Amino acid sequence: MAGKSVSTKFGTAPVFFTAISTILGAILFLRFGYAVGSVGFWGVIGIILLGHLVTIPTALAISEIASNKRVEGGGEYFIISRSFGLNIGATIGIALFLSQAISVAFYVIAFTESFQFLFEYLKQIYDIDLPRQAISIPSLILLAILILSKGANLGVKALYFVVGILFITLVLFFAGTSEVAQNTEFSLFDLTFENSAGFFVVFAIIFPAFTGITAGVGLSGDLKNPSKSIPIGTIAAAFVGMIIYLFIAYKLAVSASIDDLINNQLVMGSIAIQGSWIIPLGLAASTISSALGSVMVAPRTLQALASDRAFPNKKINTWLAKGREKDSEPINSTLVTLLIAIIFVALGNVNTVAEIISMFFMVTYGALCLISFLNHFGSSPSYRPSYNSKWYISLIGFIVSIWVMFMINTGYALMSFIMMTALYIYINYTHKYRKGFVGLFSNAIFQLNRNLQVFLQRKSRRKTYHEWRPSAICISKSTFERDRALILLKWISHKYGFGTYLHRIEGYYSKATHKQAEIELTKINRMIGDTGSHVYLDTIISPSYTSAIAQSIQIPGIAGMENNMVIFEFDKEQPGNLDHIIDNYALVNAGNFDVLILASSPREIKYKNGIHIWISSTDSSNANLMILLSFIISGHPDWKKTDIKIFDICKPGLESETRINMEDLVKSGRLPITSANIEIIPQDPEVSSKDLVNLKSYDAGLTFIGFREEAVKKENTFSGYDKIGTILFVNSHTDKVIE
């Protein structure tokens, strides 16, 4: 991607330091004392907690999404556009870019306030009322020259210096005192909530401080390992920042009068040791660092937008996407960012700019939380993030984001939605063939559709879905003798898959058999009870096993999805119907189905003993399906906290290579299988594979064994495993990809 630096790759520290230096920046030094004085200590605590009801779910959502698939250049825009599609992504991405570009102006304006002593000196000595722009505009120009000449490396190197100054500043602030602190009447037990009418006015001014949690995400294209660095850096900054703000609120409340808090924007300087110079220094360092961070991030968002052809004009996209030859630094996008920043610097009002920024960030954060929620609700097997949030946390973040927008300023909120709707209509018209949110919403829709169909039983009909997930069908007339096949379907369909269980009534269709079918279906529904099963239950009347299979495999499964898997079942101790399964295998195989043959054992399933998967060099084609099925089954509460163990029988001398390949597969697939649970076993001609299985899986909860099509009719393929419990024999019709 065009925004990706070829010369610089950063670790986790820049993500954390970029975020924390932005969080502890302009708002902290200039407006936080005003907030404490305006709404009181407990009012500010409410603002902090409400703000983090948006930012912490967003941090968790970003961490989750970033650890599922690689996040490239463009940070938050990349996440949104690859989830909602390029058209919606471009709409939100443009709003995000504007908020980031305006943030540059915000921090430069705040930086100017650190020169308060100079403005006062000129006024008192020379009676010159110097406008703030006399400092802010030259500062922005100097900043532009540095960024354009030095690139991202300058900003990252400056971070460590800035964080050091911030640390010293905060230590001197907490160590300081004032005359008011000795006579204060403040008490934590005074729960008075001051100026509740102005709560959201103050919130709008304060909230941009908390938006710093995503500042480091914009460096995604310049990180060595975004899926690791983004979660750790972002979550750590969110919680560390919140804790520091809580302590600062208390320190201000006990150390300064309400009058000083409201009227002295650098009130922290009256409290800190050597505050007259250390607080302005901390303000200058944090604001210029935040400005540097925004100048690094905003152009990369704009460059990513242009690389995705978000703008209607090809020449504009090409010009904005272009990077400097030596390091891919987004020079042209940086120029546009700085032009926007200069316009808002000319406005010169921190509060006005803060309110505008809050609106744009709320839209972005709401979108990120919604993506996380929909991914949870959709339960796609390919969504396996290393960092897991909770669906209800993401939903809370989304709802609070939208609600707070309207509470801050209903007019601004409505204008934001109208502008973004108009922008989306225009982009969608320009790129009418570029849809994109089908994948994300399809998963959620299919989950909703599945649950509704289980509830309504027979109200299904067709939809087509192309992402692989198991849609299994099982036909059995032994439901009341053995329930293992029904239990297996329950495991598969609990979260990730779909299951249809057909109880076979042997005979021809007639009033009598129809009545029998109704009675037995009622009995099965009672038998399964309130176990939370998502299996779709029905009956089928057929004179033979073959005709029942032929009928069943032609009907769509739950949610209208075509069935792609057939489950057979036989009793290990009395395998009378195994011959029928073997006789009908060719019929099922003609339909391109994956085939599972469950060998039910009367032995109790010991869930805590885990799932064992047996793979051999002669049967590698079934390996991925067995691994995916074990992951899917382990998602059922029955298997909570269970282990999945892989036994890989390889040719002698290939043990190291086999282990590396298997560990890479598990790691890249984000599967919950530890290295300690992968056992590589070299083939020994003196020891049969069945003896190994009987020895090592004697007490396993469930054992997976692959089989080949040509081995089905061999007499001993499904026998010889007398010492172990229930076995699931697996044949994959096509190779499954573990993404």
The tokens of 420 are what? 């973004």
Whole-angstrom Cα distance, residue 77 to residue 320?
16
For the chain, list the domains and their CATH numbers. 12-430 (1.20.1740.10), 456-595 (3.40.50.620), 601-739 (3.40.50.620)
DSSP strands (E only) in 656-738: 678-682, 702-706, 727-731
* Number of neighbours of residue 475 by Cβ within 10 angstroms: 23
Q: Give this prediction's pTM.
A: 0.63
Higher pLDDT, 570 or 375: 570
Q: 731 - beta bridge partners?
A: 595
Quick one: pLDDT band at residue 463, thresholds 50, 70, 90? very low
Whole-angstrom Cα distance, residue 131 to residue 136?
9
Rg (CA), the chain: 32
Hey, which of 166-170, 383-387, 663-667 has the most confident mean pLDDT? 166-170
Asked if the model's pLDDT at residue 639 lies above 80, the reply is yes
pLDDT of residue 8: 52
pLDDT of residue 129: 83
Quick one: pLDDT band at residue 1, thresholds 50, 70, 90? very low
Secondary structure (H, E, C), 576-603: CCHHHHHHHHHHHHCCCCEEEEEEECCC
How would DSSP label each residue in 123-185?
A: HHHH-----THHHHHHHHHHHHHHHHHH-HHHHHHHHHHHHHHHHHHHHHHHH---HHHHH--
The tokens of 1 are what? 């991607």
Higher pLDDT, 669 or 448: 669
Whole-angstrom Cα distance, residue 540 to residue 508?
10
pLDDT tens-digit map of 265-293: 888 988 999 988 898 888 888 888 778 77
Quick one: pLDDT band at residue 251, thresholds 50, 70, 90? very high
Q: Inter-axis angle of helices 350-378 and 32-66, to 10 degrees?
A: 30
Mean pLDDT of 498-505: 89
Quick one: pLDDT band at residue 314, thresholds 50, 70, 90? confident
Amino acid at residue number 67: S
Whole-angstrom Cα distance, residue 311 to residue 297?
19
The tokens of 690 are what? 């069945």
Q: Inter-axis angle of helices 275-307 and 152-175, to 10 degrees?
A: 150
Centroid of chain to Cα 728: 33
Amino acid at residue number 299: P
pLDDT tens-digit map of 51-108: 999 989 988 888 887 777 666 666 677 777 776 677 778 888 888 888 888 888 888 8
What single DSSP character describes residue 500? E
Cβ contacts of 503-506, under 8 Å, gap ≥ 24: 503/476, 503/477, 503/479, 503/537, 503/538, 503/539, 503/540, 504/475, 504/476, 504/477, 504/539, 504/540, 504/541, 504/542, 504/545, 504/548, 505/477, 505/539, 505/540, 505/541, 505/542, 506/477, 506/542, 506/543
Mean pLDDT of 505-532: 84
Higher pLDDT, 1 or 231: 231
pLDDT of residue 434: 65
Asked if the model's pLDDT at residue 381 lies above 90, the reply is no
Residues in the chain: 739
Asked if the model's pLDDT at residue 263 lies above 90, the reply is no
pLDDT of residue 191: 62
Mean pLDDT of 376-394: 77
Asked if the model's pLDDT at residue 392 lies above 60, the reply is yes
Residue 554 dihedral angles phi and psi, to the nearest 5°? -95, -10
pLDDT of residue 451: 65
E strand or H helix at 474, and its extent? strand 471-476
pLDDT of residue 558: 57
Whole-angstrom Cα distance, residue 85 to residue 436?
4
Whole-angstrom Cα distance, residue 466 to residue 478?
33
Mean pLDDT of 123-141: 84
pLDDT of residue 455: 58
Quick one: pLDDT band at residue 440, thresholds 50, 70, 90? low
Higher pLDDT, 400 or 137: 400
Burial of 311 by CB count in 10 Å (0-12 exposed, 13-18 middle, 19+ buried)?
buried
pLDDT of residue 698: 92
Asked if the model's pLDDT at residue 361 lies above 60, the reply is yes
The tokens of 312 are what? 């209607």
Asked if the model's pLDDT at residue 208 lies above 90, the reply is no
pLDDT of residue 397: 92
567: left (phi over 0), alpha (psi -120 to 50) or beta: beta
Angle at 522 between CA 520 and CA 528, to 5 degrees: 100
pLDDT of residue 726: 93
pLDDT tens-digit map of 667-681: 877 888 888 899 999
pLDDT of residue 724: 93
pLDDT of residue 152: 56
What single DSSP character describes residue 387? S
pLDDT tens-digit map of 521-544: 888 888 776 555 778 888 999 888
Whole-angstrom Cα distance, residue 277 to residue 96?
35
Asked if the model's pLDDT at residue 465 lies above 60, the reply is no
The tokens of 519 are what? 């009675």
pLDDT tens-digit map of 717-735: 898 898 999 999 999 988 8
pLDDT of residue 460: 43
| Weakest mean pLDDT among 226-235, 348-357, 572-581 | 348-357
Asked whether the beta carbons of 138 and 322 are under 8 A apart, the reply is no
Asked if the model's pLDDT at residue 458 lies above 70, the reply is no
Burial of 99 by CB count in 10 Å (0-12 exposed, 13-18 middle, 19+ buried)?
buried
Residues of the chain with pLDDT > 90: what percent?
18
Higher pLDDT, 446 or 692: 692
pLDDT of residue 733: 87
Name every residue whose Cβ is closer than 8 Å to that of residue 425 and which is 6 or more positions away in sequence.
none
